[in-house]
Copies of this chain bind each other. A is one copy, B any other.
Amino acid sequence: MKATVTQLTNDLIASYARYGGINHLDGKNLPSKRTISLITVDLLRLLFPGFFDEKLIHSSELKAETAVLLDSVLGALEDEIRKSLEYNPPADLAKKDITTAAHTITREFLNRLPQVREILQTDVEAAYAGDPAALSKEEVIVAYPFIETIAVQRLAHELYQKHIPLIPRIMTEWAHARTGMDLHPGAKIGTHFFVDHCTGTVVGETATIGNHVKMYHGVTLGAKSTSHVEQLRGKKRHPTIEDHVTIYPGATILGGDTVIGAGTTIGGNVFIMDSVAPNSLVIYDGLDMRVLNKADKDKPAPGVRI
């Protein structure tokens, strides 16, 4: 047994040396995925007091509990932001200034929480107004995966705008793993946003979404694939969705120049790579489907392939 372990260990250690690039040892200290998950949960507790906590918070304790939680988040987040900046410092940040920058950015970020709550309230309203199955706004917050996902994206977007590496993406991937919806931290999302069911919906880094947009699960706001990846980093590659647009399940909309005009409805399973004028209906029309009686299945029929 002992000899086996020694040999397996030696082979694996040799592999670590041979195939560089997939392990990270010594040197720069990556932010911790687990710590960022815990911070994300604490931020949700600060945004929706009483909803993500185990015990009910009473008004009399609210201020004291909020202060304790904020103090804890402040310290933990500052550490992770410092590690993230050390790992990949912005061009204009000197090494000696990183600690101070982490300190300042963390405070600025936490200062934004009231504004984040303000916009999240419009999302809660949109979810309640948009789903006949919702019985109350409390049900929306406690049981809809959407609220958790959009809250995390709006928080991550604040850090993304401050050019913090890694952390914003780790935050949105935490939500992605829980709800199946992948909203990139870079996406600019307006007020009164609602995505019902969430699973499989993907919104890319440079997508822009207006106000009062309603989407369903399985919707992609994506980029056209290309072999010229390096030229595209940082460029606008994902669609623009204007105000009051509704997008049904399974629709795929691609391209940085694609603009879906205000007031438009995009039907289910539609595939779009061109812009659409305001107030349009874009539908996958039943005329393109074949509806056949199974009794006729064995007769040769053009296009029947099942």
Which residues of A are in contact with B by a Cβ distance under 8 Å?
A: 1, 4-6, 8-9, 11-16, 18-19, 21-26, 29-30, 32-34, 46-51, 54, 56-59, 62-63, 66-67, 70-71, 74, 87-88, 107, 110-111, 113-114, 117-118, 120-121, 124-125, 129-133, 135-139, 141-145, 165-166, 169-170, 173, 176-182, 184, 186, 197, 199-200, 202, 204-205, 214, 216-218, 220, 222-225, 229-230, 232-235, 237, 246, 248-250, 252, 254, 263-265, 267-274, 276-277, 279-295, 297, 302-306
Known A-B contacts A66-B9, A165-B139, A199-B182; A280 and B305 likewise in contact (beta carbons under 8 Å): no
Q: How many copies of this kind of chain does the complex include?
A: 3
Q: Please indicate the chain B residues that have their CB under 8 angstroms from the CB of A51 in the complex.
A: 23-24, 30
Known A-B contacts A132-B229, A232-B132, A249-B202; A285 and B289 likewise in contact (beta carbons under 8 Å): yes
Supply 15 A–B pairs (Cβ within 8 Å), ascending by A: A5-B70, A9-B66, A23-B49, A23-B51, A24-B51, A30-B50, A30-B56, A139-B165, A143-B173, A220-B268, A225-B248, A273-B306, A281-B294, A283-B292, A283-B306
Asked if residues A63 and B217 are in contact (CB atoms below 8 Å), the reply is no
Asked if residues A141 and B284 are in contact (CB atoms below 8 Å), the reply is no
**Min CB gap A305→B, angstroms:** 5
Asked if residues A305 and B22 are in contact (CB atoms below 8 Å), the reply is no
Q: Please indicate the chain B residues that have their CB under 8 angstroms from the CB of A280 in the complex.
A: 291-294
Asked if residues B268 and A177 are in contact (CB atoms below 8 Å), the reply is no
Asked if residues B118 and A15 are in contact (CB atoms below 8 Å), the reply is yes
Q: Please indicate the chain B residues that have their CB under 8 angstroms from the CB of A58 in the complex.
A: 25-26
Asked if residues B303 and A285 are in contact (CB atoms below 8 Å), the reply is yes
Asked if residues A268 and B294 are in contact (CB atoms below 8 Å), the reply is no
Partner of A22, one of B11, B120, B179: B120
Partner of A269, one of B234, B248, B250: B250
Partner of A305, one of B135, B285, B290: B285
